[in-house]
């Protein structure tokens, strides 16, 4: 059960999913639409594999859908719509059997053979199956929809005939946005050649509204008359987007900042058809480490698989929830912070007042359900440092330390903690290990470290992390002026952990063990290389 929240609190919540949901409350005026539900939609182009943008759009839309459910009793649905009738424009780089695919360029994706294993009837069907498996792996609640099915089943027929009736008006919207050469051949209707099977971008010679047909010149020069219904044509992309909104009566759809002009054109077309454009939300695009726009074709992005090698999916959901209208860099360095932000949000969720909980990212990730990962007080940064000082790639060895910090926890009783530890080991090996830079302590730091070692020897093994943290702080005060205390902790990180930043030392000492930290200090004072195992 979701956490019970007073509707008035949800109505005043400032978190962006609630702000978006209130648009839909105003749109429906509290009444169920004639179709029986409020419809959310996300689009997917199945010429490639699902990617991190696919995840971002579905998880964010789901958050708005959940927020709407707290504001209204109107039923909702989420359609994940695949544009699988698009023509195959080029052969993707990341698929097998490229020569076979090249022979089918221009054909609808659902008419191109499966290049992977012949397990599916088409390339489009194979990628659609991957999309569904991808979304299912995250537990999203949605209904899959196929453009090919909508076109060929006749469910788009009414919309297509309406588009034909308003052909000149829609063309007049589109033509000024095109270059001179493109305008000469452009038509919102793309016929599917009965001879080659390809989706054709050819001029329309004549339209017949009463007969519901168009006449076009085929690739061999012959004139062909065809119905616009029954899957004989598909629409150009912006008209297709508007047509889908009209046929499905979509109430809400997100899109990237780069699609704002397309959304504006589609909204104009939607109004020409006599429909009401959906409520929209444009989000900023992701950037790479250098601040460049992430591009699938350039391969400068971070994949979902990349993220999940080191972190649980909830941390990725948190990264998507935070400030979607701000351009954010999406590369490996952001992962540790995202994990720790997520863990901190989950801990707060269970104890926050309801009004404050509505602003908590974990509330939107878990639909208000409190969760217990058995990871209280554990941070990813702490686990990275544990992997560093323990000098082992064996997760089981690291569990020996972790049990000291979380009594009674095991990989079986705390699988989420086990997942975090595995990710920390992988991240340390791939990104941190080679960047560790240990240094020798200064004379002042040496004296402070000797003092700290003596203090730790006297602290009972079962003392709390907070008590230990205070003792570390008091030790620093004996050797550094108040304004220099930051240097004391920086010295601990650089001398003992080989890093400019680090965890709360009390928590780390509790985790790694009092005696182990004393030995670490002794090795540092003896001038040993702490980058190597003792």
Alpha helices in 221-295 (DSSP H): 237-248, 260-273
297 vs 125, more confident: 125
Q: What is the pLDDT of residues 386-440, one digit of tens each?
A: 998 988 888 989 999 999 889 889 999 999 999 999 999 999 999 998 888 999 9
pLDDT recorded at residue 268: 98
Residue entry with tokens 């539900």: 37
- Average pLDDT for residues 358-369, to the nearest whole number? 95
Q: What is the pLDDT of residues 314-350, one digit of tens each?
A: 999 999 999 999 998 899 999 999 999 999 999 999 8
pLDDT recorded at residue 299: 58
Residue 303 — pLDDT band, cuts 50, 70, 90?
A: confident
Q: What is the DSSP string of 169-212?
A: HHHHHHGGGS-HHHHHH--SEEEB-TTT-PBP---EEEEETTTT
Contact 254, 80 (CB under 8 A): no
CA nearest 246: which of 523, 492, 451, 39?
A: 39
Contact 82, 131 (CB under 8 A): yes
pTM of the full structure: 0.92
Q: Is 431 exposed, middle or buried (0-12, 13-18, 19+ CB in 10 A)?
A: middle
Task: State the Cα–Cα distance between residues 4 and 69, nearest whole angstrom.
Answer: 12
Contact 276, 270 (CB under 8 A): yes
DSSP secondary structure code for residue 431 in this structure: I
Tell me the domain boundaries of the chain. 7-171+237-283, 380-435, 443-525
Write down the CATH number for the domain with range 443-525.
Answer: 1.10.10.350
Q: What is the pLDDT of residues 156-209, one digit of tens each?
A: 999 999 999 999 999 999 999 999 999 988 999 999 999 999 999 999 999 999
Q: What is the pLDDT of residues 196-252, one digit of tens each?
A: 999 999 999 999 999 999 999 999 999 999 999 999 999 999 999 999 999 999 999
Task: State the Cα–Cα distance between residues 72 and 98, nearest whole angstrom.
Answer: 50
User: Domain 7-171+237-283 is in which class?
Assistant: alpha beta
Task: State the Cα–Cα distance between residues 287 and 273, nearest whole angstrom.
Answer: 37
Q: What is the pLDDT of residues 461-471, one digit of tens each?
A: 889 999 999 99
Contact 139, 58 (CB under 8 A): no
The percent of residues above 90 in pLDDT, for the chain, comes to: 82
- Average pLDDT for residues 494-504, to the nearest whole number? 91
Mean pLDDT value across the chain: 93
pLDDT recorded at residue 452: 98
pLDDT recorded at residue 2: 47
92 vs 280, more confident: 280
Q: Is 136 exposed, middle or buried (0-12, 13-18, 19+ CB in 10 A)?
A: exposed
């Amino acid at each position: 059960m979701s956490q019970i929240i007073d509707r008035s609190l949800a109505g005043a919540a400032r978190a962006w999913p609630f702000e978006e949901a209130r648009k839909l409350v105003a749109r429906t005026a509290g009444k169920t639409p004639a179709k029986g539900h409020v419809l959310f939609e996300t689009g997917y182009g199945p010429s490639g594999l699902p990617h991190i943008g696919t995840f971002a759009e579905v998880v964010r839309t789901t958050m708005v859908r959940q927020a709407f459910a707290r504001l209204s009793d109107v039923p909702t649905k989420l359609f994940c719509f695949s544009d699988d009738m698009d023509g195959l424009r080029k052969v993707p780089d990341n698929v097998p059997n490229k020569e076979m695919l090249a022979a089918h360029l221009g054909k609808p994706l659902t008419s191109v053979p499966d290049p992977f294993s012949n397990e599916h009837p088409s390339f489009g069907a194979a990628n659609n199956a991957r999309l569904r498996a991808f979304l299912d792996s995250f537990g999203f609640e949605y209904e899959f929809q196929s453009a090919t099915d909508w076109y060929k089943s006749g469910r788009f027929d009414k919309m297509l005939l309406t588009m034909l009736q308003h052909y000149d008006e829609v063309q007049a919207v589109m033509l000024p946005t095109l270059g001179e050469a493109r305008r000469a051949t452009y038509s919102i209707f793309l016929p599917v050649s009965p001879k080659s099977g390809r989706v054709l971008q050819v001029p329309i010679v004549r339209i017949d509204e009463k007969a519901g047909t168009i006449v076009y010149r085929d690739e061999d020069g012959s004139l062909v008359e065809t119905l616009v219904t029954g899957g004989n044509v598909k629409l150009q992309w912006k008209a297709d987007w508007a047509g889908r909104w009209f046929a499905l009566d979509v109430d809400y759809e997100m899109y990237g900042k780069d699609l704002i002009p397309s959304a504006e054109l589609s909204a104009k077309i939607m109004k020409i058809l006599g429909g009401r454009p959906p409520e929209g939300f444009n989000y900023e695009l992701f950037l790479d480490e250098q601040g460049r726009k992430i591009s699938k074709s350039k391969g400068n992005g971070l994949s979902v698989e990349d993220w999940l090698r080191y972190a649980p999916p909830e941390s990725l959901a948190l990264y998507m929830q935070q400030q979607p209208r701000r351009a954010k860099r999406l590369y490996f360095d952001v992962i540790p912070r995202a994990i720790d932000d997520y863990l901190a949000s989950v801990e707060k969720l269970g104890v926050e007042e309801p009004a404050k909980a509505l602003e908590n990212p974990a509330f939107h990730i878990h639909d208000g359900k409190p969760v217990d990962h058995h990871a209280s007080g554990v941070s990813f940064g702490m686990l990275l440092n544990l992997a560093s000082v323990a000098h082992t790639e064996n997760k089981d060895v690291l569990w020996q330390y972790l049990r000291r910090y979380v009594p009674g926890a095991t990989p079986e009783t705390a699988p989420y903690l086990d997942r975090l530890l595995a990710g920390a080991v992988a991240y340390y090996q791939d990104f941190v290990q080679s960047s560790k830079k240990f240094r020798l302590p200064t004379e002042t730091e040496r004296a402070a470290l000797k003092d700290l070692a003596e203090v730790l020897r006297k602290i009972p093994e079962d003392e709390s992390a907070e008590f230990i943290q205070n003792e570390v702080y008091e030790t620093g005060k004996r050797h550094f002026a108040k304004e220099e205390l930051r240097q004391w902790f920086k010295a601990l990180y650089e001398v003992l952990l080989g890093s400019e930043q680090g965890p709360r030392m009390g928590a780390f000492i509790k985790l790694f063990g009092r005696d182990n930290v004393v030995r670490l200090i002794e090795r540092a004072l003896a001038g040993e290389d702490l980058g190597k195992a003792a």
